[in-house]
Structure 1
């Protein structure tokens, strides 16, 4: 935050901070741009072996991510952060394609973030050295953390719903997050989704309301939406400064320091003019009055959840304005780290106009946690779950030993009293533990594996054991990434994010450990040590991928394998019926980007086409017994066999015959095949096993006899008599009379197969001529998650427009794609008392009308789940339609349920479409 009085700081800090904010003129940050950029590289190439220095550097580290709905200003805000920290000399523009973090050609062409980018910089500008952090100013007041340099590892994440997995795997390794909201649109669909994902991983967050310079911006309405839609208490730390109360947006009023920050229009944002409360009372009396109300509301909110601020409040004789900024910052930090308080600090600005970014950087350093303060990473070892810090201290391994070893009670009690592992304990020799959260195939550097190191230090040339795949790989090179640029380093210490080059097998979500002595396989139980994996959401959109020729198929499969290693949210499977290779993903844009990567980057010669729906055909009645005799030479040998077949509709309630004449009853691909041979005189051995029959042709046993007939029936059922689709839900009964259908040596297995196929085909044609056949289509079991407001329109669309059947409506269920832990977390959140939005402070908006800024009823945002059965044809392309119906908030998953008969109208429409050049 902006320091209220620079005179209270030590002289060295005062000189440094004077380059950031000057009371009446310009805060010139570019004076340290070159020095800051060079210090970044020097710092990354040198990691000291001093434990004290490493501890100090870790406390001054922030691993944060920027999350938001698409087009809320994430990349624009990141560009300003890099500029003010001295990392860059110019501000990149998303529209021009000149940003640092959006470096992919597809990102610059579309103007959106597709792939999360990691970048490291320092705030305030300067090198994080080993000097002791100042603890107090000249008058004993605590010095804010933003007074001395910190290392910020920042990840800019995508905002489009199709790239939700990219956000999930980035959130998995973050210690804190900045959620950016569009001041015009408020809390949008993807904002709610990423917010729930961050809650799953218990990530501390702050909120930045952006784009307040645009027409229609409503800060107060956005604050109320934060409380109603996100279920938290917004602690309003800044309010927007509109010139004259309803003029242009020129800056923010800081409720913590009771001062106004004003930026000059059209400049790069380095000039920040400050105005104290008294000056605001003279120049902007309405703003000064609202600033007092904001300070009172902030102190009151903190007092409800933090006892220490209550004591400070009483020491100040119950004067809200007299509480020091340092005490408020410390109280905010305690509330942010304790997520049970549900207090989220909220800041204001306009990144594109270069307003409000420097105070946001100060709040990142002051309020968000360092790696040691972040929640303990969850691990599992030997079937026991717990925290990584408990494991390293020896507590978790003691529990695991009690469970596995089965040692005597006295010995168990001795282990339980030991809190620190001894020198012989395998855990004491664990050098590093890291999580691979992203894999990228770089054209120049090869495969890059992004890792977050949770303990120890990951050193170059160390042997890494993959506990998921149970194999070892050496790490020949380590990099620290600056978006698309990289600096080679010797090691990556705990709490930091880096890249390992040269790993051939590691995938997203794998746990990597190194052990003292560089052993290929660490001792038990370290081989079972795994950090909490990254949940992969199920795919909801699919398309076909076809190579240009058969010779290109192998190359295409190899490229798809690389693509799947990069992005596990993509799925590839082969449709057994059509033979198509199907690529599934999170949406149309997701698959479009995958196609660009496949063709342009991986140079695969393939095209993406439309999906072929696997229709079926079924009998509507029964045929009369049809007998055929196959009599033809096969490969120069005479073959002769007879068979009688009956084809009929399969009724699940009818039981198949199981008498002594029945040789086989088997269900295959939804059809039932029965083989009967009356009078075959089967002989059994003394052990009860089938042996032979004297009536079978010479050299043929019963297994060959049954198999030959079954293969004939299966071949005939693969093609229906009317629509040529495979048969489904059909029963075929084959009857062989040994006296009339078997002809000694002339009857071979191939002759039996041909006779069975011909008889079955003839029986199916007889069904068509009589009762007829009809088409069947695959019906999907669909689970749709929407809010209460969209429930009616989605139910109407499913039941009327798409020919679906609503099975059930359930309330308050977790979103599809979440694992069990996230589901339990969602239930815990649902159990929390609702936010009383009438007690939430929100400043009035200029030109506010009764239709804008009204409270959103809790029932409108209540989650609902629709379970339905819908034909697969109607679900192709459904994702885009669902998003339009639900304002982007709807999600769904589906799986094949069964095949159902099609109505005459739908059957005619499908046939017309198929004949129209599909």
Structure 2
């Protein structure tokens, strides 16, 4: 009989022995294909305080990486190593760590010689290399989760068995769905008072839009006592944690033993197995065949076949089946089976779709590019209005590696560390990396494999692996790094490979800001350098300078986000600066259009006369009604630069809803015929467009009313070469002329009709119990001036759409909670119906979706907890900017003047 690594199928005691840290394994001798097959790149995602870091600590302990279990409250965890994380007890930045499961020992079965051997034995019987990323759960650090999701192959979503599916969980689950990341769920904290496994499973179907496949059920002592273990539905056994306090000892009970000692529990395991097989049969034809082969006996199907069927359904896109496991990480129950499920169910890098790439103006996948034959010619446009040039097969063959830099960290000992995910080939020590975003080549002096705050030097990072490159001076989050054979540090790849880019990571616009002033001029350089490192680490931070006051403004995603950045600046970087009060980033917009205004510039620049001219006009852009608001994906698409079909005009779009349209006559560098006008020698068409765009953007940074950035405004720039260009025209002169022309037009529009002040409006998703619903709705609509969009109970179909997803509603699986199997909760109220979520009427979880001004949401969490008895939670995201009423505008301006 084959013995699984994690536990014996036979009902005997098995001890998980904690081993010394092992950084190298027998897998070091495997070829890259086999190494990728035995690799899992996974992330831990969840709402704050669901137990992500606690679960990660147990994984590290049972894998043999650590000798003791870290505690979040004590600040002794491996992945939360920043001082701010340990002080607050929360995860702030995602931490990557590598370990092996099962642990590498002499008793580990030998590696299979061919991939087909995997069908003969459970994957969890073979030691796998797991690259795990522990992500934050706070809404202010959503960008940190998104950039981690970008490089993951699978995810474990952890739910609080007491709170159920919370707001931030719903949001990150939907975002993971947009990347088509296979996910499994671990229901945690089942040892706590008020834990309800049944209710949580029903919420999974209603809110996460998938059919829960219950793979484990809780084992309560005596049927209604303490949580002591789980019932393994897949292998039809009971797993009881006993003996050692660290959870390293457990005993497996067969069905015969369970029927003798706990008939009800044994019967529930059988019922769960029947339901699991029937659910899998709806989505996996192979399970139907197995069911018929075993004489329609649900219990006769081997557990290994159930695992393979679950794996096939998990890898389907979109994912409709969600495997659910149970446990209590703090009590050390259920973590080892979860590790087995990660290896058994989640995909290897070879089983993931090829990443999307862009090559010039063309989009494709990386595998299509690398598999092109000598007869295949991929068109790569180099310049606008020019014919595409073919990318030859030899040039593709010389592309030896392609990777994405998804995270940059400043380490106190090692300097700047760039985390990369390699998608093809191998990055070797000393390789020259070409950054296709910055068009800069850098050498990788060393390569590291990270273990949270510890590191081990390696010779190469192969395809499918996550590693770290220290010493890079320019790489940022989202940059694509390629290795090209024969490339030098001062050259670029031939053909169009210098434009090859993996899908970038979208950075949401910040809504909070604070001022930063150095204590003295001598400290200014150190403060600026520290801020530059912070921004390189976290692209969701934004830095700007107020030209009139000279103040430096740091903007972020939330008050906690800025508070952490401030603490790191002062404590970690030892910057000596004054930090101002956290403020809200308002916008302003004009109310009327202007007639074209032409500005002619003539001044001395660097001792030389500079001349330029431009004609500008401005007009307001109609706002969208709340009912017509776009999804996140549409907003991202609208935020990118776009060009009109007119070959003699260019349109730029910004995150603030502005458009800059530049119209120009036919221009040529060399041709001065009647059809094309000659460009002065010092200029090119791209430099002209870039200079005009920079000047207009600079003017939009300060509005005519209260110096807030301008939003929802259309800028029309018209360049007439005969009168606006001359031999003395420079890009700097064009930029200054554009800025002056747009600024004058904005002031003219404000003089004609006063500009309006816009405030950020948030889309808030609030979870409260039934008894608190009325007071929360009244507070939102009356005291905070919000607009309630919907009230959904947890069983409603639309409950999952508000989590900030952007997924099309018709792509979601609509699940009826009444059709979901769940084992009975021993502590559930007697009045809970089968179609509900296992709670009494007063405790039914309700969801409120509302649009509320950001100013009213500052400090809202404390107020929400006060009026809900500490049980309310919420998550919010920017939904747009709206005009204020005159009374509200006066109140906001008066309050700002108090702190001026």
SS at match of 2:378: helix
1:435/1:666 CA distance change after superposition, 3 Å? closer
Aligned to 2:878: 893
- TM-superposed CA distance for 1:81, in Å, is 1.1
- TM-superposed CA distance for 1:841, in Å, is 0.7
1:145 matches 2:123: yes
> TM-score, with normalisation over the residues of structure 2?
0.73
Aligned to 1:209: 187
Match of 1:439 among 374, 384, 408: 408
1:657/1:590 CA distance change after superposition, 3 Å? closer
Give me the whole-angstrom Cα distance separating, in 1, the residues matched to 2:196 and 2:800: 31
- List aligned pairs for 1:806-885, cutoff 5 A: 823=806, 826-827=807-808, 829-849=809-829, 855=836, 866=851
1:837/1:582 CA distance change after superposition, 3 Å? same
- TM-superposed CA distance for 1:719, in Å, is 13
Aligned to 1:801: 783
Aligned to 1:748: none
SS at match of 1:95: coil
- TM-superposed CA distance for 1:855, in Å, is 2.4
Aligned to 1:3: none
SS at match of 2:32: helix
CA RMSD of superposed structures (Å): 4.5
Aligned to 1:530: 501
Aligned to 1:778: 757
- TM-superposed CA distance for 1:219, in Å, is 0.6
Give me the whole-angstrom Cα distance separating, in 1, the residues matched to 2:707 and 2:351: 62
- TM-superposed CA distance for 1:782, in Å, is 2.5
Give me the whole-angstrom Cα distance separating, in 2, the residues matched to 1:246 and 1:345: 25
Superimposed CA distance per residue, residues 188-239 of structure 1 (whole angstroms, 9 cap, x where no aligned partner)? 1111111011111110011111111111111111100000010011100000
Superimposed CA distance per residue, residues 483-532 of structure 1 (whole angstroms, 9 cap, x where no aligned partner)? 11100111100110000011101000000000011333111221111111
1:319/1:73 CA distance change after superposition, 3 Å? same
Superimposed CA distance per residue, residues 271-296 of structure 1 (whole angstroms, 9 cap, x where no aligned partner)? 11111111111101110111111000
Equivalent pair of 1:465/1:521 in contact (CA under 8 Å): yes
Equivalent pair of 1:540/1:879 in contact (CA under 8 Å): no
- List aligned pairs for 1:39-78, cutoff 5 A: 40-41=23-24, 53-78=31-56
1:395/1:535 CA distance change after superposition, 3 Å? farther
Aligned to 2:258: 280
Match of 2:100 among 111, 115, 122: 122
SS at match of 2:31: helix
SS at match of 2:379: helix
Unaligned runs of 5+ in 1: 1-7, 416-420, 618-649, 659-664, 671-717, 729-773
Give me the whole-angstrom Cα distance separating, in 1, the residues matched to 2:115 and 2:891: 80
1:121/1:788 CA distance change after superposition, 3 Å? closer
Aligned to 1:352: 330
Give me the whole-angstrom Cα distance separating, in 1, the residues matched to 2:492 and 2:128: 37
1:883/1:230 CA distance change after superposition, 3 Å? farther
Equivalent pair of 2:401/2:422 in contact (CA under 8 Å): yes
Equivalent pair of 2:436/2:482 in contact (CA under 8 Å): yes
Give me the whole-angstrom Cα distance separating, in 2, the residues matched to 1:814 and 1:255: 28
- TM-superposed CA distance for 1:786, in Å, is 3.5
Match of 2:470 among 501, 505, 526: 501
Give me the whole-angstrom Cα distance separating, in 2, the residues matched to 1:431 and 1:909: 57
1:266/1:187 CA distance change after superposition, 3 Å? farther
Aligned to 1:167: 145
Match of 1:610 among 553, 577, 581: 581
Equivalent pair of 1:183/1:222 in contact (CA under 8 Å): yes
1:538/1:141 CA distance change after superposition, 3 Å? closer
Most deviating of 429-438 and 882-891: 882-891
Match of 2:232 among 237, 254, 273: 254
Give me the whole-angstrom Cα distance separating, in 2, the residues matched to 1:453 and 1:130: 27
Most deviating of 780-789 and 348-357: 780-789
1:427 matches 2:391: no
- TM-superposed CA distance for 1:574, in Å, is 2.9
Match of 2:545 among 538, 560, 574: 574
- TM-superposed CA distance for 1:654, in Å, is 11
- TM-superposed CA distance for 1:130, in Å, is 7.9
Aligned to 1:384: 362
Superimposed CA distance per residue, residues 817-869 of structure 1 (whole angstroms, 9 cap, x where no aligned partner)? 98xxx74xx01x54445112221111110121156676269x99889674x8x
SS at match of 2:15: coil
Superimposed CA distance per residue, residues 162-182 of structure 1 (whole angstroms, 9 cap, x where no aligned partner)? 111111111110101111111
Aligned to 1:28: 15
Superimposed CA distance per residue, residues 870-898 of structure 1 (whole angstroms, 9 cap, x where no aligned partner)? 6x865766787789999444423266666
- TM-superposed CA distance for 1:94, in Å, is 1.5
Aligned to 1:596: 567
1:495/1:799 CA distance change after superposition, 3 Å? same
Superimposed CA distance per residue, residues 650-669 of structure 1 (whole angstroms, 9 cap, x where no aligned partner)? 995999999xxxxxx99999
- List aligned pairs for 1:383-782, cutoff 5 A: 383-394=361-372, 398=376, 400-401=378-379, 424-519=393-488, 520-575=491-546, 579-610=550-581, 778-780=757-759, 782=761
1:496/1:615 CA distance change after superposition, 3 Å? closer
Equivalent pair of 1:92/1:99 in contact (CA under 8 Å): yes
Equivalent pair of 1:615/1:725 in contact (CA under 8 Å): no
- TM-superposed CA distance for 1:791, in Å, is 11
- TM-superposed CA distance for 1:330, in Å, is 0.5
SS at match of 1:339: coil
Give me the whole-angstrom Cα distance separating, in 2, the residues matched to 1:651 and 1:25: 78
Aligned to 2:679: none
Aligned to 2:601: none
- TM-superposed CA distance for 1:779, in Å, is 3.1
1:266/1:111 CA distance change after superposition, 3 Å? farther
Equivalent pair of 2:10/2:254 in contact (CA under 8 Å): no
Give me the whole-angstrom Cα distance separating, in 2, the residues matched to 1:786 and 1:552: 43
- TM-superposed CA distance for 1:541, in Å, is 2.5
Give me the whole-angstrom Cα distance separating, in 2, the residues matched to 1:912 and 1:783: 21
Give me the whole-angstrom Cα distance separating, in 2, the residues matched to 1:719 and 1:396: 59
1:657/1:110 CA distance change after superposition, 3 Å? closer
- List aligned pairs for 1:359-374, cutoff 5 A: 359-374=337-352
1:99/1:43 CA distance change after superposition, 3 Å? farther
- TM-superposed CA distance for 1:143, in Å, is 1.1
> TM-score, with normalisation over the residues of structure 1?
0.72
Aligned to 2:320: 342
1:143/1:290 CA distance change after superposition, 3 Å? same
- TM-superposed CA distance for 1:552, in Å, is 2.6
SS at match of 1:476: coil
- TM-superposed CA distance for 1:803, in Å, is 5.8
1:483/1:43 CA distance change after superposition, 3 Å? farther
Give me the whole-angstrom Cα distance separating, in 1, the residues matched to 2:550 and 2:501: 38
1:594/1:397 CA distance change after superposition, 3 Å? farther
SS at match of 1:401: strand
Give me the whole-angstrom Cα distance separating, in 1, the residues matched to 2:150 and 2:277: 33
- TM-superposed CA distance for 1:61, in Å, is 0.7
